[in-house]
Amino acid sequence: MSLGIIAPWWLCILAVMIGIGGGIWYYSRTTPPVTTFRRIILTVLRSIGLTLLVIALFEPVLSFVRSRVVEPGITVLVDNSLSMTIDENGKPRSTVMKEVWESSGLKSLSDDVDIVVFNETVTSLQPGSIDSLKFNGARTDIERAFRYVGDHAVEQNTQAVVLISDGVFTAGANPLYGAEKSARPVYVIGIGDTIEPQDVSVQSLLTNEQSYIGVSQPVSVVLKSNGIDAEAVTVSLTDNGAVVEEKTVVLSKSQQVMPLQFTYKPTQAGSRKLTATVKGMSKELTQKNNTASEFVNVKDTKRKIVLFAGAPSPDVSFIRSSLEQDKSVQLTTYIQKTGAEFYEPQPNSSTLREAEMIFCIGFPVQSTSASSLAMLQEALRLGKPLFLVVSQNLDYTKLRSLEEFLPFTVQTSRPNEFSITALVEDDAVNNPLVKITGTASDIATWNQLPPLFRTETFVRPKPEATTVATMKAGAVVLSEPLIMMNSFQRSKTVAVLGYGLYRWKLLGNAQEQSKGKSDIPDVLTSFLQNSMKWLSTDENEKQVRIVTNKRFYSSGDVVECRATVNNAAQSPIDNATVTVKISGSNDSRELVLTQQGNGTYTSIVTGLPEGDYTYSGTAVANGTTVGKDGGRFSIGNVSVEYRTLTMNKDLLTTIASRTGGRFYTPEVAKKLLDDIKSNAAIRTRTITSTDEFALWNLAYILAASLLAFATEWLIRKRSGLI
C-alpha cells in the first residue's frame, strides 16, 4: 500500500504546517476576547479545514498492489459426440474413454482441473460428472473447444491442455490452427481404431435446394465401402418416403468411394425430403451411416424471365439459348426492330410484373420509346432483379433513366470500339458470380478467356457496388470495371460493361470441345447460372422469416425457432405476436416466440421424439397479419458422426507435436501426468493487480472541510467575533 501526491512531500508538509500555523496565529488574539477553550476549538476547526483543502490541492492517490501465486492449471477437453458411441471390438469408445480417465490419473485430479466437454457446443463440467456424459452430440467442433481454452487461459492459468477424442471433426474449422493459437502444450489421448472396419455408408447427397414440378434435376450420391469385396448392395432414393429410383452396385475393395447419379423429377410442390439409403449388411460395423438426407423446396411454377434486347445480336442468341436450356425457366423475349417497335410479342406491364428477373442486352437504344422505358422502370421499382449487358448501340443517355437501379453512374461515353479481356483478381475466388469449380483455378480460367469489346465509356461505381472483374487492353491493365454486382435495399443488379460474350463460348469452350477436350469449362453458361442464382429473390427480403437453427437434429437435441419480422421497407417490427405450430407424426406443439429486440423473436422446443416435422408461423402486428413462413426439420436422422469410423491419428499427432505436447494411445495413457509434471514450461505464475483510489476526488474530504469551516463560522457568530 502506498500514498502518492503530485508534488514533493516536503512541500505538502510545509503547506500543511503553514495552514496550521495560520490558524494558531489567527486566533492567538480575538476581538472581543473569548475563553481559552473556545479559542482552541476555533483554531482546530480552521486548521482542519485548511489542512484538508491543502491535501486536496496536492491530489493524493492511495494505491494497493496485490500479488498471488497461482498453481499451473490443466484443462481437459472431452469429446461428447455420437462418434464416441461407435463399438469397436465389442467395446464402445465411450467405455474406453472412461477407462482412460482412471488409468491416466486424471480422475484423481478431477477436483483440480477444468473439465470441458464438447460436441457442436462447449460446456464446462462439474468434477466427478464424467459418468453422466451421454455422448449424443450431432457434430464435433474441436476448434471451438480450443477457442474456449484461449478465452479462459489467463484467469485459470491454463498451462497444459489434455484432449481426449477420436480426432474426427464434423463442424467448425481445422482444430490444428485453434490448438496452435491457444499457445499451450496439448497432450492428446486418441480414442478409436486406425484400421478401417467393414462398413458401407452414404457419405453425401447433393442436389439443388430449389426445384420445380415436372423439371428433372440430378441428385449426386457418394457411397463408401471398407473391407467389402464383390458384394451387391441396393441404393435407393426416396422422396418423403416414396421410392424415386433404385440402383444396384457391386462393392469392391479397389474402389472404396463410388459416386452415383440419380434423377429426381418432382410431382408435388412444397418442402420435400430426399433420402439416399444403402441396404445394410449384417457384417458391417454400423448401419447408422447408411442414409443421408436433404430438403428440397419444390415450386409449382417455372421461373419467369423477361429479356429485352435493343436489336438481334450474337449475344442475344447465345444468352437466350443458355436460358432456354434451363427447363426451370420460362423465357419471354422482347427484341426491338428498327424504330420503336418490337418483334412479336410486344411488351406489356402484366408480364413484367409476373417476371422473377429482367435481362437487358444492349437495351435501351436511341429509338426506344418512353413508354417502353416507363414499363421497365415500373417493374424494377417493384424489386425485380436486373441483368444488364451493354452493346455498341446502347444509348447511355436513355440508360440514365434506370440509373437508380444500376451499380454505376455514367461519366462519359463515345461509341469508339476497342478490344479488352477480363481481369479477375485472386481475392474474387469466393465471389458467387465467378465460381466454376470453386477452386483457385477458376481465376486462371477467367483470365484466359477470349477478348470482348468495349466502347469508350467511363463509369463511376456506386459506394454499395462490388467490382467483380476489371479489364485489360492488351497488356495494359485498366481500372475500369467490366463486371459489377449491386444489392441495395430491394434492388439487385449484375452489369457487364462489355459485349461479345458469345466469344467466351464460341472461341473458348466450343473451340476446345471441337478438338475433343470435354473437360473445358463453359464459363458463359456458368456465369449466367451463377448470376440467375444470385439475382433470384432473396429469402431475407421476405417480411417474415422463420427458421430453425438446424435442419437435422439428433435425438434429445433442443430445437430453436427464430423469426425476423420486418415491414415493407425492411425495417424491424417490434411488439409483434409470432406464433409457430410444429407438426409431426408423433407429436405437435404450438409456440409463442419471445421478443428479443430489433425485430427478432425466439423460442425453444425440447422433448420432441424422432421423426420428420413441418412448422408454419404467422406474425401479427397491430391486429394486421404481417406475413407467414414455414419449413421442415428432422430429428433422429443424423449420421454425419458415423461417416468416418476410424480415429484421425494424423491430425491428433500433428496437434500434439506442433504445440509441444505428446500423443498417447489408451494403453500408454498412464504416462500422461508424469510427462506434464516434467515439462519445464509448466510452472506457477504470479498474478499482480493494482487498485488506485483518488482521495482528493472523494466527496468526504471536501464535505469534512466545509463542515469544519461551517462549524467555525457558527461558533464565531455565537461568540460575536469580528
CA dihedral 87, 92, 97, 98 (to 10 degrees): 180
Work out the average pLDDT over 526-553: 81
Average pLDDT over residues 375-390: 93
Q: Is the pLDDT of residue 194 over 80?
A: yes
pLDDT bracket for residue 518 (50, 70, 90)? low
Closest to 644 in 3D by CA, of 166, 293, 92: 166
> How confident is the model over 516-539, as a mean pLDDT?
79
φ, ψ at 542 (rounded to 5°): -65, 145
pLDDT at 638: 61
pLDDT at 541 over 60: no
Q: What mean pLDDT, rounded, does the chain reach?
A: 87
- Structure confidence by residue, pLDDT tens digits, 640-683: 788 888 899 999 999 999 999 999 999 999 999 888 888 877 77
Q: Which three cell numbers stand for residue 413?
A: 461515353
Q: Is the pLDDT of residue 515 over 70?
A: no
Q: What was the pLDDT predicted at 263?
A: 93
Read off the pLDDT band of 77 (50, 70, 90).
very high
Q: How confident is the model over 567-617, as pLDDT tens digits?
A: 866 678 888 999 999 998 778 899 999 998 889 999 999 888 888 899 999
User: What is the spatial distance between Cα 39 and Cα 41, in angstroms, rounded to a whole number?
Assistant: 5
Residue 722 or 92, more confident:
92
Q: Percentage of the chain surpassing pLDDT 70?
A: 96
Q: What is the largest CA-CA distance in the chain?
A: 125
The pTM of the full predicted model, rounded to 2 decimals, is 0.57
Q: In the predicted model, is pLDDT for residue 186 greater than 90?
A: yes
The more confidently predicted of residues 666 and 488 is 666
pLDDT band per the 50, 70, 90 thresholds, residue 407: very high
Domains of the chain, first to last = 2-66+692-719 (no CATH), 72-195+646-664 (3.40.50.410), 199-297 (2.60.40.10), 303-535 (3.40.50.880), 540-635 (2.60.40.1930)
Percent of the chain with pLDDT over 90: 39
Using one digit for the tens of pLDDT, what is the confidence trace for 707-718? 988 888 888 888
Calculate mean pLDDT across residues 159-177.
90
Helix (H, G, I), strand (E, B) or coil at 587: coil
pLDDT, tens digit, 9 for 90 and up, residues 291-300? 888 899 888 7
Summarised one tens digit per residue, pLDDT across range 229-288 is 878 899 999 999 899 999 999 988 888 888 899 999 998 888 899 999 998 777 788 888
Collapse the DSSP code of 644 into the 3-class scheme (helix H, G, I; strand E, B; otherwise coil) and give the result: coil
Buried b (16+ CB within 10 A) or exposed e, 416-451: eeeebbbebeeebbebebbbbeeeeebbebbeebbb
pLDDT level of residue 130 (50, 70, 90 thresholds): confident
pLDDT tens by residue, 311-362: 999 999 999 999 998 878 889 999 999 888 999 889 999 999 989 899 999 9
- Tell me what pLDDT residue 312 has: 95
**For residue 637, what pLDDT band results from cuts at 50, 70 and 90?**
low
> Band of the pLDDT at 368, cuts 50, 70, 90?
very high
At 315, give phi and psi (nearest 5°).
-60, -45
Expressed in angstroms, the distance from the first to the final Cα of the chain is: 46
Tell me the mean pLDDT in the region 418-422. Answer: 95
CB distance 544 to 619 below 8 Å: yes
What pLDDT was estimated at residue 643? 80
Q: Is the pLDDT of residue 639 over 80?
A: no
**CA–CA separation, 31 and 39 (whole Å):** 11
Phi-psi region of 519 (alpha: psi -120 to 50; beta: other; left: phi over 0): alpha
309 near 362, Cβ under 8 Å? yes
pLDDT digits 0-9 by tens, 79-128: 998 889 888 888 899 999 989 998 888 888 777 788 999 988 898 887 66
Mean pLDDT of 211-218: 85
Distance (Å, whole) CA 223 – CA 558: 30
Q: What confidence category does residue 501 fall into, taking pLDDT thresholds of 50, 70 and 90? A: very high
Tell me the C-alpha distance between 584 and 633, whole Å: 10
pLDDT of residue 191: 94
Q: What is the mean pLDDT of residues 476-497?
A: 90
At residue 677, the pLDDT reads 85
Of 122 and 301, more confident: 122
Question: When comparing pLDDT for 637 and 357, which is higher?
Answer: 357
Neighbour-count burial of 241, counting CB atoms closer than 10 A to its CB (0-12 exposed, 13-18 middle, 19+ buried) = exposed
Q: Cα angle vertex 370, ends 369, 372, to 5°?
A: 70
